[in-house]
Every structure is written in C-alpha cells, then in structure tokens.
Amino acid sequence: MNREELLRARTDAVAAYDHATEFRVVLPFGFLAMVASLVSLSVCYGSNLASAVVGVALPINPHLQAVMMWGSALLAVYALWRDRRVHANSLPTSLGVVGAAVLIATLYLNYDARVEAVAYVLIVIAALVNQNVFLGTLNRTVRRQAREIEGLNRHLAETVESQDHEIHRLGRLKPFLAPQVAELVVADKDAHLLDTHRRYIACLFCDLRNFTAAADSAEPEDVIEVLQGFHDRVGQLVLEHQGTIGFRAGDGLMAFFNDPIPCQEPVLEAVRLGLDIRDAFEALRAAWPGLGGPVGLGIGIAGGYATLGLIGFQGRADYTAVGRVVNVAARLCDRARDGDILLAQRAFQDVAAEVDAEPLGAVELKGVASPVETYRLRSLHRAERPA
C-alpha cells in the first residue's frame, strides 16, 4: 500500500488547492483595471464635474492632466493583459488597447471631446467585460475543481477502505504468522488466501513430557512462568523459520510449513525447526528448578496433504490444518520420549539424503488405521541452509 498511493493522493490534493488559489492571487488585477479606468475618467472630467456641482473649477496643469489620463488608461490595459493570462480571452485587452490608443491619439494629435468620450467608453467596457469573463472562467474552474475534489475524495475513500481491508487481513494473519511474513501475504492481495484449500505440508508437534505430574506440586505462578517461557521461545523459533502456528494448547504446540507461504522443502524446514527447538529446550529446562520433577520434550514430524483454513467462530478463529498428516505428527509426538524427534515414513523420504536417522520399524499409533514406519532423527547432515 499504499504508502505511495497515500502520498500521491496527498500531492494531488495539494495541487488541487494550489490551482484553486491561483485566481485569488490574480483577482486584484480585474479590480485594478476597473479602478485605473475610473481614475483616468475622473482626471479627465473631474474638473468639469466639480465646476458644474460647486461652481469652482479645479486648477490642474493640462500636460499633467493628459499624462495622468493616458497613464491610468495604460495601467488599466496592463491589468487587462494580466487577466488575459488567466481567462485566455483577448476581447477585454483588445478593447482596452483600442480605447487607450484612441485616447492618446486624441490628446496629442487631434483633440476631439467626442472621440475622447468614445475612448473612455471602450476602456470602461473593456474593464466590465474583463470582470464578466473573469468571473465566468472562475465559475467554470470552481465547478471543475469541485468535480476533481469529489473524485479525489472518492479515491481517498477507496484507498482507506482498501487499507482497512488489508489491516483486517493482517490482523487475522498475525496471530499465526511472523509479522514480516503476514505483511508479505497481505501485499499479495489474494482475497481468497484464507479460504479452505488442500496442500502438501510438513506438520510438527512438540509437547512437554511429564509436565502435568511435575506441575502438580508446583506453585501456579511458577507453572504459568514455565509455560510462558516455553511458548515464547518456541513461538519465536517458528517465526524465524517462517512457519505457521496452527494452535497452542497448554504445554504443546503445532506448526506447519508450505502454507500460506510456499516452501520448497517443507519437511526439511520442519526438521531444522525441530532440532532448534530441542537445542533451545535444554537451556529452558535448566532454568526450571521450581517444578516438582523432571520435564522432557518430544517432537513428531509428518509430511502429507492436509486441508487448511480458518476454524473457529467470529472474533476468534485459528488458521490451521486438518487431516491424516496432522494426526500422525500428533501421535508421533505423544510416542516420543524425552529428546526424541520422530519422523513418519513419508517425511523421512523427503529428507533422507539430508538427515541421519534411526529406523524404528512400523509403529502402531492411536487413531491411525495402519502402522506407520517411523524414524528417530539424530542429526542433520547439512547444518546450514543452502545458499
């Protein structure tokens, strides 16, 4: 998102505002044309008007009067020309130029009061026409900008709605995905990402051995502290391996790989995670002297097809997997002894070239119809991820 779209929308809004204020900057020129034409007219007929009204003629140098007349007229023409740059209509400027030219000609070539009056009529009409043209252009511009702003508002509303949807999707993903992975998923803009579907995954279960008995004689606060530390560390490891947490339950956790983020070698990634969890557990266990007995860790890993999607109710749902692969991984975890990482046959086949494992033969698992060939993982040949 979006951040670029918001910045672009903000830039458009600023540009629209700047364009709207353009008329406010040049608006005084329209009034200047009107005032300058009236000043020139007053200079010309002011003395006669004063003489007619009060009976006293105002003394004024005729040369100075002429300069003030045509100077004010040219100022009006200049103001008309400045407004022409805004409304792009040449009529007011043309009328003003003709009027000023006629005025100067009659003042210095062949004075005629009637011609002088015609000149002022042209100049005043030019100022009035300019105001009318200017206001018409301003009205059309305001209407156009109102449509642009309305469109911009719609665009902003659509952007906010889209981001709100993405935030909602991100909120649904964050409980079981790493934040950076969840953001990648949201950026993919796949509206059906969380819909129920089928995919090959690697499923890992881990569970504490003898925890219930050890916690029976411990203080509840100590039990909560132990569980919180266990889930914090294991959950962090799952996120580091870009796995998906299916669910947490008491002293156990399920994670899977290859959904919703594709993974080229899901079982191998699950094996790496299992080894990291086993190593991290040793440090955790050393800090749990307050429990009433020894606590161990068992891990089961299976590979196969599962059905994935949201399971729960409105306001509280988990994105998880169901199917035989999940049941097999859970039962292998139950069967594992402290420190064991048990692999189902299909999972072992996916990583046979990468691991050192001990075959345990066909094992009967509760809730699984047929025996499962099982292997105990010892180590990983390739300790580092491939480049």
What's the number of CA atoms in the CB half-sphere (13 Å) around residue 193?
Answer: 20
Mean pLDDT lowest among 214-223, 268-277, 285-294? 285-294
pLDDT in tens, 331-348: 999 999 999 999 999 999
Q: Which pLDDT belongs to residue 194? A: 66
Instruction: Assess whether the previous peptide bond of 175 is cis (omega < 30° from 0).
Output: no
pLDDT in tens, 220-254: 888 888 889 899 999 999 989 989 888 888 889 99
CA–CA distance, 128 with 136 (Å, rounded to integer): 12
Q: How far is CA 226 from the centre of its chain?
A: 39
Phi/psi region, residue 349 (left: phi>0; alpha: psi -120 to 50; beta: rest), is: alpha
Question: In the structure, what pLDDT confidence band is assigned to residue 202 with cuts at 50, 70 and 90?
Answer: very high
Residue 110 has pLDDT above 80, yes or no: yes
Of the two residues 139 and 243, the one the predictor is more confident about is: 243
Q: What is the DSSP letter of 191?
A: T
- What are the boundaries of each domain within the chain? 3-154, 179-380
Of the two residues 13 and 375, the one the predictor is more confident about is: 375
Q: What is 179-380's CATH number, 3.40.50.300, 3.30.1360.20, 3.40.190.10, 3.30.70.1230?
A: 3.30.70.1230
Q: Give 60-66's long-range contacts (Cβ < 8 A, gap of 24+).
A: 66/107, 66/108
Q: Which pLDDT belongs to residue 24? A: 44
Average pLDDT over the chain reads 80
Residue 209 has pLDDT above 60, yes or no: yes
Q: Is the C-alpha dihedral spanning 34, 40, 43, 49 positive or negative?
A: negative
The pTM is what?
A: 0.57
Identify which of 1, 316, 2 has the alpha carbon closest to the alpha carbon of residue 172.
316
